[in-house]
Structure 1
Amino acid sequence: MSQSQPTTTPKLEDPKFGFNDYAERLNGRAAMIGFALTLVIEYLTGQGLLSWLGLQ
């Protein structure tokens, strides 16, 4: 009896941690959301971010 070998390599999922495309994309999205929220806070309070945080 002969066993047949697989002809293709199974596609494994990329890791969801470390320096990879998924992490970079997630980091970029988080930065865009943070920047937009900073603009909203400055507009609503009439103060800059440093003043709003009490650092200036």
Structure 2
Amino acid sequence: MSDTTTEPKFGFNNFAETWNGRLAMLGFVIGLATELLTGQGILSQIGLM
């Protein structure tokens, strides 16, 4: 479904929430892969533990 309206693409709308979810999933997968490759948790990697 294409969005042909001229409404701004910010705030709580379907476009923003879709991309927010996609980027959150990508960040989670990258964080998990980094933990598996380094053997350290995220807190250890940034020096908090």
TM-score (normalizing by structure 1): 0.73
Instruction: Could you tell me which runs of 5 or more consecutive residues in structure 2 were left unpaired when the two chains were aligned.
Output: none
Report % sequence identity: 57
More helix by share: 2
Whichever of the two has the greater Rg, that structure is 1
* Alignment pair present for 1:42 and 2:41: no
Quick one: distance in 2 between partners of 1:53 and 1:40? 16
The secondary structure found in structure 2 opposite 1:16 is coil
Question: Superposed, which structure 2 residues align to 1:7-18 within 5 Å?
Answer: 12-18=5-11
TM-score (normalizing by structure 2): 0.82
RMSD over equivalenced CA pairs, Å: 1.3
